[in-house]
Structures are given as C-alpha cells and as structure tokens.
C-alpha cells in the first residue's frame, strides 16, 4: 500500500505515451494497488480516475471509478473502482455529450469536453485476466479521459470554449441547484 505523489502540469511526463504492459507481474500489481490507494485519498478535488502517467510511470494502466446509486443504501451514491491495463476502446456510440471535466494533474481548471456517450473497452484487470467493460455517461467520460492520459493527451487539449476555475465551477453548480 502506498500513496504516490500526483504529478501536475507542466511536468513533461504527462505528455509521454505510456508503454504497453507485456506481463501483469508483481510490479504491475503493486503499481495498480498504488493507483487505487492514491485515488482513494484524492479528495480535494475528488478524483474519478487516475492514470499511471499521473504518478510519473509511463505504463498503460489506469484506475477508473464508476459512481452509482446503491439500492442497499437507499440510493445513496457509492462507487466501484476498476483497474484497466492496456485499455483499448473497441467501439463507441455515434452520440456524444459535452460536459465539464477537471483533472488531478491540472489543478483549478475546468472546461467542457466532447466525449462519446457510450463506449466498450477491452483491457486486462489486476490479475491479468481479459475484461470487457461497457461504460456510459459520466463513467464513459472518465474512461475516455484516463485513456487519453496514456497517450499523453490532457483534457485541456480538447476543451470546447474557455476554462473556468474551481470557484467559478462551484458557483455554476450552486446556481443550477436553485
């Protein structure tokens, strides 16, 4: 168990294309556990995913978090984390959505990004087993954002229109809630 330091811009490691993982061995499993631990403590702001490049390791591995209402807890939101090794998007919906994103590696910046509404992804899990994931809406957005990190792409490269600060983002959401 280890919490790793999250790399932020303009660190050039964030622009590296990550290397494909050829074998899921002890080192890769430890890296996956470190990513899970690091995401768990990222609370300000809360992260929905983290890529190995964000802790300075250029390997094709990320953790993505799926938030969903838990029927056992009166619909209160809970989450499940997935380790994705060598993730690859194998199909996408035609439909896209534009919504706000932020990034643990780009502090205090939010902007709207167009993403596919639904995707299917092939990957290996932490045991090295082949998995297929179907993701939609916010979870699909998270997966696309993390896979971008593995290609050295940041959400700010894709922002439509301007960017706003965390304070402006909070103000926007409190208005919507009224």
Q: Which residues are annotated as a binding site?
A: 103, 145, 149
Stretch that binds Zn ion, among 10-18, 102-110, 113-121, 170-178 (CB under 5 A): 102-110
Q: Which residues are annotated as a binding site for Fe cation?
A: 103, 145, 149
- CA 56/CA 69 separation, integer angstroms: 33
Greatest CA span in the chain, whole angstroms? 51
Q: Distance of CA 80 to CAs 26, 32, 51, 115, 129, Å?
A: 23, 15, 16, 21, 18
Q: Is 121 in the site for Zn ion (CB under 5 A)?
A: no
* Catalytic site positions: 146
Q: Is 63 in the site for Zn ion (CB under 5 A)?
A: no
Smallest gap from Cβ 79 to Zn ion, in A, equals: 17
| Structure tokens belonging to residue 178 | 């009224």
Going by the DSSP 8-state scheme, the letter that residue 16 receives in this structure is S
Stretch that binds Zn ion, among 6-14, 21-29, 96-104, 164-172 (CB under 5 A): 96-104
Q: Is 103 in the site for Zn ion (CB under 5 A)?
A: yes
Nearer to Zn ion, 136 or 156 (CB): 156
SS (H, E, C) 79-110: EEEEEEEEEEEEEECCCEEEEEEEECCEEEEE
Total residues in contact with Zn ion, by rule CB under 5 A: 1
Stretch that binds Zn ion, among 71-79, 100-108, 132-140, 163-171 (CB under 5 A): 100-108
Phi, psi torsion values for 126, nearest 5 degrees: -65, -20
Nearer to Zn ion, 131 or 153 (CB): 153
Which residues contact Zn ion by CB under 5 A? 103
């Amino acid at each position: 168990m280890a919490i790793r330091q999250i790399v932020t811009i303009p660190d050039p490691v964030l622009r590296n294309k990550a290397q494909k993982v050829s074998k899921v061995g002890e080192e890769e499993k430890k890296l996956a556990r470190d990513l899970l631990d690091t995401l768990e403590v990222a609370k300000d702001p809360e992260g929905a995913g983290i890529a190995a490049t964000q802790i300075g390791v250029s390997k094709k591995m990320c953790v993505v978090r799926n938030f969903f209402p838990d029927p056992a807890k009166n619909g209160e939101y809970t989450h499940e984390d997935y380790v994705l090794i060598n993730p690859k998007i194998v199909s996408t919906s035609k439909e896209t959505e534009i919504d706000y994103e932020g990034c643990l590696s780009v502090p205090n910046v939010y902007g709207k990004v167009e993403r596919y509404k639904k995707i299917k992804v092939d990957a290996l899990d932490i045991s090295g087993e082949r998995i297929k994931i179907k993701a939609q809406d916010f979870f699909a957005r998270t997966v696309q954002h993390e896979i971008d990190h593995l290609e050295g792409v940041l959400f700010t490269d894709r922002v439509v229109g301007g960017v706003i600060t965390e304070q402006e983002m909070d103000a926007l959401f409190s208005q919507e809630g009224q």
